[in-house]
């Protein structure tokens, strides 16, 4: 984290591919200052540690979830202030047991985002300091953003 080297998108991509050759797959979209990838959930914490300690990614922008009916997905957006790059990581989780490591020990900014994703979807983040409901009242038992939760219309 103390290095002052400026990395480009290509250098970041090569470095990640070097460390995790099979577990991380890169998307073919090309946009300036962006990198899109999908990762396995077992190596997520190691990947984020690599991003934070050696590549200068010091800000967690967003942690959110998507419910594809056969699997869950968590989506991470992590930015680097010194390199001006934003990275998008997509992690697939099984539908009946959605658990993933929490990245709150690395970036404090992910704390409430993970609590909100638990509140809305029911995804458990292992190692989170305080995983309670945030937006809905404490005694609600349903997870609203799942696709099997119907809301009424007019």
The two counts, helices (H) then strands (E), for the chain are: 3, 7
Binding characters for another protein, 24-63, by CB under 8 A (x = yes)? -------x-xx-----------------------xxxxx-
- Judge residue 70's burial from the number of C-beta atoms within 10 Å of its C-beta, 0-12 exposed, 13-18 middle, 19 or more buried: exposed
For 8, the 3-state DSSP assignment is: coil
Question: Cβ(78)–Cβ(51) under 8 Å?
Answer: yes
Cβ 129 vs Cβ 104: under 8 Å: yes
Site string for another protein, 102-121 (x = CB under 8 A): -----xxxxxxx--x---x-
Which 3 state secondary structure label does DSSP give 16?
helix
Comparison of 24 and 110: residue with beta carbon closer to another protein: 110
Which of 49, 71, 84, 127 is in the footprint of another protein by CB under 8 A? 84
Taking the least distance from each CB to another protein, the nearer of 42 and 127 is 127
DSSP category for residue 5: P
- Residue from 11, 41, 88, 124 touching another protein (CB under 8 A): that is 88
Binding residues for another protein, how many (CB under 8 A)? 37
Contact positions vs another protein (CB under 8 A): 31, 33-34, 58-62, 64, 66-67, 75, 77, 81, 84, 86, 88, 107-113, 116, 120, 134-137, 144-145, 149, 151-154
């Amino acid at each position: 984290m103390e290095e002052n080297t400026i990395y480009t998108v290509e250098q970041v991509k090569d470095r990640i591919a070097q460390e995790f050759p099979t577990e991380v797959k890169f998307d073919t979209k090309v946009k300036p200052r962006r990198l899109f990838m999908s990762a396995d959930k077992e190596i997520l914490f190691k990947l984020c540690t690599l991003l934070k300690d050696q590549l200068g990614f010091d800000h967690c922008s967003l942690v959110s979830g998507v419910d594809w009916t056969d699997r869950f997905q968590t989506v991470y957006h992590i930015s680097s202030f010194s390199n001006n790059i934003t990275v998008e990581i997509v992690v697939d989780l099984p539908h009946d047991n959605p658990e993933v490591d929490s990245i709150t020990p690395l970036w404090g900014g992910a704390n409430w985002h993970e609590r909100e994703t638990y509140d809305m979807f029911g995804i458990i983040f292992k190692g989170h300091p305080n995983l309670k409901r945030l937006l809905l009242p404490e005694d609600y038992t349903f997870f609203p953003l799942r696709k099997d939760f119907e809301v009424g219309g007019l």
